[in-house]
Amino acid sequence: MLFQDYFDALSEGIEFLIAFGSIMGLLGLIVGILGFLILPNFKRYKLGIVIIASLILLGICGFETGLRYFHIL
């Protein structure tokens, strides 16, 4: 019983982290694209890194995982 509670809590924590990564990926992608359109050329390089990191997060965590977990959709 003790181990079952531990593994249930551990799986809930991992599920939360995956959903949080999905939300951070979506927000990073939105901010990166908006900033890429608005900011001057010399600052676009950093936003390219943000967009790439966001795409990696979305690839790992999934696109709709955070939206379903936090009941946004």
Residue 22 lies in a domain: no
Residue 16 lies in a domain: no
Mean predicted confidence (pLDDT) in 30-53: 89
Are 22 and 66 in contact by the 8 Å Cβ rule? The answer is yes
Residue 49 lies in a domain: yes
pLDDT of 2 strictly over 90: no
Residue 19 lies in a domain: no
Distance CA 17, CA 25 (A): 12
Say what the pLDDT of residue 3 is. Answer: 77
Residue 11 lies in a domain: no
Say what the pLDDT of residue 27 is. Answer: 96
Mean predicted confidence (pLDDT) in 16-27: 96
Q: Confidence class of residue 39 from pLDDT cuts 50, 70 and 90?
A: confident
Domain count of the chain? 1
Q: Residue 66's domain spans which residues?
A: 27-73
Distance CA 51, CA 27 (A): 10
Residue 18 lies in a domain: no
Hunting for tokens 């379903």 — which residue is that?
A: 68
Mean predicted confidence (pLDDT) in 51-71: 93
Mean predicted confidence (pLDDT) in 17-44: 92
Q: How is residue 39 annotated by DSSP?
A: S
